[in-house]
Structure 1
Amino acid sequence: MKPLKRIGISYSETNFQNYWSWFTPGELGSDVELLELSFERGNTADIYKCDGFVLTGGIDVLPSIFGGAAKYPYMPDSFLPERDEFERQIYEFSQDQKLPVLGICRGMQYINILEGGKVFEDNGEEAHLVHKKAAEDKIHTVNIRPETLLYSTTGIEQAEVNSAHHQAVDPRYLGNNLMASAYSGTKDGIIEALEFEDKADKAFMLAVQWHPERMKSKSSNPLSQKVKEAFLKAVRAT
């Protein structure tokens, strides 16, 4: 019998169940299980039981962590520094132990911050027409750079993704050893995916700005299904 692998999913105050149910029983099989890693429950010990991690979307990261402005458009009424600290521990453990990580939306932005980079506090009203969530997620194209992990994972150079964010990675301040592997197909050119530039001695890491867990066509869109399959394969290989 194969040893049991565990995927830790960081708790989000918004739509957490979508991340959980994205992994179907058939995909998990009998050898992979999910663990909720919750800053509210403070189950730090469970971090060290995991073989891979999903850093989820949600509220803005506390701007003082990356030297951001104290006030900006669409900032939340209050932040969650407890969540920021909890997820910092998750990410640092993943890198210390060379474990796979999948970052989604806020998760991608926070990986950039934790690697010493910055995000735009707010993308601006023009970008909001394309990216910021309204009644439903917006839809736009992304362009994927060849010779990247994202391209080898998905096998495509362009596809449609959903979009629901008012912040984005600042390309002037990419984190240590990070590279952009996809950009928005619209004129704003927002960074849509990150991965390690030098992958030597690194585990699988993909971070995406879209929400693969709640795409309407997630089972057929490679930018959801193929990304998930690659992450699961990496977890099983740990």
Structure 2
Amino acid sequence: MKKKIGISYTETNFQNYWNWFTPADLGDNLELIELSFEKNNVKDIELCAGFLLTGGIDVTPSFYGGAPEYPGQPDIFLPERDEFEKLIYDYSQALKLPVLGICRGMQYINILEGGKVLEDIGSANLIHKKGTEDKVHYVNIGHNSMLYAIIGSENGIVNSAHHQGVNGYSLSKNLIANCYADSPDQLIEGLEFKDKTDKSFMLAVQWHPERMKEKEINPLSQKLKDRFLEEVKKMEK
């Protein structure tokens, strides 16, 4: 039986996440399954050996004690999505299954681990918020991090499309920043567990590896994906 990777449904560019995993990546052993808050297919969560939490609309502020109104907030929130993805994350941690978080996915993992997000990153939007295309900037990777072990470099180039973020003041006490934007705002660009004892693989990034230009040769896309797939293949499910 093929091992299933659950991809959380997003109203924004879902197909990019799906297409990131090529037939060559999946081979004969892996397949993708859409986990959708709209379909509420909760039982399908139990079929999965790993999970990708995608980007998209801001997390509902009440989930992290945030301001009810702030610059750049969406016209509506999707608390049903927040609840559904909490089920996914809680299940992954209970069964010690691999998780990869992207953009909103990173922010929400930080929230679910007890942290918060900056409702709007203000002047840093000039560097991070998408215009007609993703912004592009450098990141600095912590030498002692799991991310460094995967990438093998202390810096790299990423794409950026967000108006919320995580910094040292909003970071969960259970997580460490493995990567920062190479810019004055010093926004956190990647997270992993502080104490990895008895934990499964969890890596979360603020950029969008699934839609990077030259994603096949940029290690901050390709090596991330390769490592995530390796971790899924290790699972017994």
Bin the TM-score by the shorter chain. Answer: over 0.9
Rounded to whole Å, the distance in 2 between the matches of 1:16 and 1:6 is 17
State whether structure 2 residue 126 is matched by structure 1 residue 129. Answer: yes
Of residues 7, 11, 16, the one that matches 1:9 is 7
Higher mean Cα deviation, 223-232 or 171-180? 171-180
Residue type matched to 1:43 in 2? N
Alignment of 1:4-153 (within 5 A): 4-124=2-122, 126-153=123-150
1:226 equivalent in alignment to 2:220:
no
CA deviation string 1:197-221 (max 9, x = no partner)? 1111011110000000000110000
| Residue type of the alignment partner of 1:90 | I
Deviations 1:49-106 (A, max 9, x none): 0000000000000001100000000000000000000000000000000000000000
Q: Which consecutive residues of structure 1, in runs of 5 or more, have no partner in the other structure? A: none
CA shift, 1:111, in A, is 0.1
d(CA) in 2 for partners of 1:32, 1:155: 26
Q: Is the 1:118–1:170 Cα contact (8 Å) retained in structure 2?
A: no
* Whole-angstrom CA distance in 2 between matches of 1:170 and 1:96: 27
**What is the RMSD computed on CA atoms of the aligned residues?**
0.7
1:206 matched to which residue of 2?
A: 203
Q: Is the 8 A contact 2:167 2:186 kept in 1?
A: no
Instruction: Tell me, yes or no, if the aligned pair for 2:177 and 2:190 is still in contact at 8 Å.
Output: yes
Per-residue CA deviation, residues 163-193 of structure 1 (Å, 9 max, x unaligned), is: 0000001321322420000000011100000
Separation in 1, partners of 2:197, 2:144 = 15
Instruction: Give, in whole Å, the separation in 1 of the partners of 2:170 and 2:48.
Output: 30
> Quick check: 2:118–2:170 contact (8 Å CA) kept in 1?
no
Matched-pair contact (CA < 8 Å) for 2:99–2:203: yes
Number of residue pairs the alignment of both structures matches: 235
CA distance, structure 2, for counterparts of residue 51 and residue 207 of structure 1 = 17
Alpha-carbon distance in 2 for matches of 1:128, 1:174: 19
TM-score (norm: length of structure 1) = 0.98
Q: Secondary structure at the match of 2:198?
A: coil
The CA distance in 1 between the partners of 2:140 and 2:168, in whole Å, is 16
Letter in 1 for 2:81: R
1:162 aligns with 2:159: yes
Q: Could you tell me how far apart the structure 2 residues matched to 1:158 and 1:55 are?
A: 24
1:187 and 1:170 map into 2 onto residues whose CA distance is 12
Identity of aligned residues (%): 64
Q: Which amino acid aligns with 2:72?
A: Y
| Secondary structure in 1 matching 2:91 | helix
